[in-house]
Structure 1
Amino acid sequence: MPARQVKQLIRAIDTSDGAGVKLRRSLGQSAGARLDPLLMLDEFYSDEPADYLAGFPSHPHRGFETVTYILDGHMLHEDHLGNKGDLKSGGVQWMRAGRGIIHSEMPQQNQGRMRGFQLWINLPATEKMQAPWYRDLPADQIPHYPTPHGGEIKLIAGELTLANKLLSGALTQHEGKTLSTAPIYADLRLAAGETLQLATPAHHNAVIYVYEGEATIGSKLVPEAHAAVLGEGDTLELSARQGAVQALFIAGRPINEPIVQYGPFVMNSSEEIEQTLQDYRDGRLALP
């Protein structure tokens, strides 16, 4: 198959969420800006405490997974089941909301930089009502792989092939079971002038989000704070022609099911959303 090319560029837009945390949203800014099974990608980034201190107070989820990756800062996750997780610089939390979670994500700093990403990944209908689970991955548990020309790949989940070598992420399975969307989540760091060639699963949908610098994919320039939705192919060629580049590569096996979203709830039909809202009102959303 050919190398993947850019099908669509999505410029991240400024918005806010939670109790007023300022962020930039690329995937998920509209229903047409999703990429099955990827629902939403937010970047939060500020040195100004007023932009993030209010955090994300207690709120519900059902029907999908969230992946929170912190580049700089410290946040505390707590949920209605009594789970707690410290997210510090370089760490990741992978959370399957399943049938229901009520949780909060609150900054544990009152100054300095807070920077990171939150990704939402859809679940197939057969898994939307499963029990929730978590995996906290501190920075020292996430493998780093050097690239041939001075860059680095931090592989959070899934598998990629670089120079005929299979790279394995920190999270490829959970409790012995393969994740149904077979997600790949990598933080790519390219040195100035470097071109990185990766083999990727041909039948995954994939996106590149450039968060530092400008990258080139084929003949297409991908500016900073843009998501590049990639076309079909089984390889990716990413170049840092104008200086060093930092970008996320995220991919997943498409589910090909209807999506009905109402805020923090993602189901397959309007009837299921109505039931979810009723469950939340009646206190049944997140029962064990």
Structure 2
Amino acid sequence: MRVIQRFSALAAMDGDGVNISRVSDFEQLRFDPFLMIDEIKSNDEQDFIGGFPPHPHRGVETFTYIRKGGFEHRDQMGNVKPIRAGDVQWMSTGRGVVHSEMPLADANDGLHGFQIWLNMPAKDKMRPPIYQDSTQCIKPQQSNEHGATLTALAGHWGFNHSLEFIDGPIQGLAGEGAIAELTLNEHGYGTLNLERYHTAFVYIYQGEIHYVDEQGLRETSGEGQLLLLDAVELCHFQAEACGAGLLIFAGNPINELIVQMGPFVMNTQAEIDQAVRDYQQGLFGQIE
């Protein structure tokens, strides 16, 4: 596989003092339609106990995947859901959502999860919000004989030249976005064909993978690194001795300039200013 660029997650803090690792690009939009990947990974509840009290969003889609522990989600649409290990959740916030995400009281073994942001096309930014989750779904998987297992989280996926495709429990992400998890055992490997997409990248949350760069040199990347890929090239993922866990992202660029301020992602500064006024005037609603 051809790696175009490599990024490293940076330590950040959000919500009520939640420690996260973040890769984002709101300016050059190199991950378009994706904007940001936040990872929470800690066995110390002090890193996440404050959670994310009520806050707004407009013009952005949020996709949450929990691997360990969980959050309780509440929003002004009346959704109250525990999102636990193995669950995914998607909000296409459109003209406005107010929600909170607070650690579950019975999730006392630490927390490991991700929140991914996607841009929305300008034509959809003021539509009514949409909420979906996978709490009642079984996420489809495909495994091969080489120690690799692909779990579809969103979108449409094929694995290892299989003629059978699997669909994630969430469909309809902006930019035809698709998200999957790939786990590799010791020296495991698997192959994905992503040529139908213009954007493809992988985020490594565990272990290491190796690949050959454009100069023919062998490179290794590990936890907290994001590899932007050439989607035209066949993507071959090979783990080292410690195995690996990856999130794989694919989609098609929206190709629109954006303006971002905190939880709002719009196309002009005037639209950002309007979002702030609307929220301050209570037009987003409130959590009951």
Normalised by the length of structure 1, the TM-score is 0.91
Identify the match of residue 82 of structure 1 among 55, 78, 87: 78
1:205 aligns with 2:209: no
User: Residue in 2 aligned with 1:217?
Assistant: 211
Identify the match of residue 52 of structure 1 among 48, 51, 69: 48
Aligned partners of 1:187 and 1:36: how far apart in 2? 19
Note the alpha carbon deviations across 1:111-169, whole angstroms, 9 max, x for none. Answer: 32111100001110111111111111038521121123122111111122222323222
Deviation of 1:253 (Å): 1.0
* Number of equivalent positions: 279
User: Residue in 2 aligned with 1:150?
Assistant: 147
- Match of 2:115, as an amino acid? Q
Aligned partners of 1:126 and 1:148: how far apart in 2? 45
- Match of 2:124, as an amino acid? E
User: Residue in 1 aligned with 2:22?
Assistant: 25
Aligned residue for 1:279, secondary structure, equals helix
1:241 aligns with 2:237: no
Aligned residue for 2:46, secondary structure, equals helix
Note the alpha carbon deviations across 1:251-271, whole angstroms, 9 max, x for none. Answer: 111000011101100001111
Deviation of 1:231 (Å): 2.3
Aligned partners of 2:173 and 2:206: how far apart in 1? 29
Note the alpha carbon deviations across 1:155-208, whole angstroms, 9 max, x for none. Answer: 1111222223232222353xxxx4441111010001222221111144331110
User: Residue in 1 aligned with 2:89?
Assistant: 93
User: Any stretches of 5+ residues in structure 1 without a counterpart?
Assistant: none
- Match of 1:267, as an amino acid? M
Aligned partners of 1:158 and 1:124: how far apart in 2? 18
User: Which of 235-244 and 262-271 deviates more?
Assistant: 235-244
- Match of 2:158, as an amino acid? T
User: Residue in 2 aligned with 1:40?
Assistant: 36
User: Which of 109-118 and 75-84 deviates more?
Assistant: 109-118
1:137 aligns with 2:134: yes
Q: Any conservation in 2 of the 1:60–1:101 contact (CA below 8 Å)?
A: yes
User: Any stretches of 5+ residues in structure 2 without a counterpart?
Assistant: 213-217
Q: Any conservation in 2 of the 1:157–1:185 contact (CA below 8 Å)?
A: yes
Structure 2 CA distance for partners of 1:180 and 1:32, relative to 1, 3 Å: closer
Report 1:185-204 matches (<5 A): 185-204=179-198
- Match of 1:233, as an amino acid? V
- Match of 1:135, as an amino acid? Q
Aligned partners of 1:149 and 1:14: how far apart in 2? 34
Structure 2 CA distance for partners of 1:232 and 1:153, relative to 1, 3 Å: closer
What percent of counterpart residues are identical?
37
Q: CA RMSD in A?
A: 1.9
Aligned partners of 1:38 and 1:148: how far apart in 2? 32
Structure 2 CA distance for partners of 1:135 and 1:226, relative to 1, 3 Å: same
Report 1:59-70 matches (<5 A): 59-70=55-66
Identify the match of residue 159 of structure 1 among 156, 160, 173: 156
Aligned residue for 1:271, secondary structure, equals helix
Aligned residue for 1:243, secondary structure, equals strand
User: Which of 82-91 and 192-201 deviates more?
Assistant: 192-201
Q: Any conservation in 1 of the 2:195–2:231 contact (CA below 8 Å)?
A: no
User: Residue in 2 aligned with 1:281?
Assistant: 280
